[in-house]
Amino acid sequence: MRQIVLDTETTGLSAAGGDRIIEVGCVELLNRKLTGNNKHFYLNPERDSHEDALKVHGISNEFLKDKPKFAAVADELMDYLCGAEIIIHNAAFDVGFLNKELELLGRPDFRSVVGSVTDTLAMAKEMYPGKRNSLDALCDRLGVDNSGRTLHGALLDAELLADVYINLTRGQDALLIDVATQDSATHTQARVDLSSFDLPVIGASEQELAAHEEVLKQLDKACGGSSVWRMASSMA
């Protein structure tokens, strides 16, 4: 499964009001693993950033003057995103800006090109109702190191969000069982009577127990409390 974690920086908050994208950062995941096949663009928005936006991303108007316009990278960007699941924090904001840029070029809207869009802000609100669910707040909650994030930056934020997403969804795929394969194996393999064997019980070593405890701690962080395995262990 190919997933792209995406973030943008903009000149302001209103795509409908004429604000434009100034930076796009994308991080690729394949089977939930970072591939290093990332994309990063600075863009000339053909207008100045609002003062409040400058305080957020710190990307000066002067710096962007010689950068390509969105039209120059649109093909490369959309070909890269084509068919993938796109993971965005507060997706409505970024997708709205991308749709506006594509509209100005007379191109199809964003969702018609990509496979699907997953909003990690919506996921976090469902998992942590009533709590702060900004990217920084989620980094703190899930143990993701965001100490290098003094200003917003599209590529850095996409890299952080990739880590946050993996933590938010930890264990979702690991516990799936291929029932069809299991059933097939049952029918094709002969059963062995183990009653005549004296099977030794081998306990976990101290190193293995420590590694198990570390996994439980990570699961506790990911679920915002005690994991099911932790509760089951205490009841045993």
Give the CA angle between residues 85, 91, 54 to the nearest 5°.
125
Residue 169 pLDDT class (50, 70, 90 cuts) = very high
Query: Quick check: 6 pLDDT over 80?
Result: yes
Average pLDDT, the chain: 86
Q: What is the pLDDT of residue 184?
A: 45
Any idea which of 87-91, 115-119, 208-212 has the lowest mean pLDDT? 208-212
Please compute the mean of the pLDDT values over residues 116-134 and round it to a whole number.
96
Residue of 57, 152, 187, 212 with catalytic role: 152
Active site annotation includes 152: yes
Q: What is the pLDDT of residue 82?
A: 98
pLDDT in tens, 58-77: 899 999 999 999 999 999 99
Q: What is the pLDDT of residue 149?
A: 73
Q: What is the pLDDT of residue 180?
A: 37
2-168 carries CATH number 3.30.420.10: yes
Q: What is the pLDDT of residue 177?
A: 33
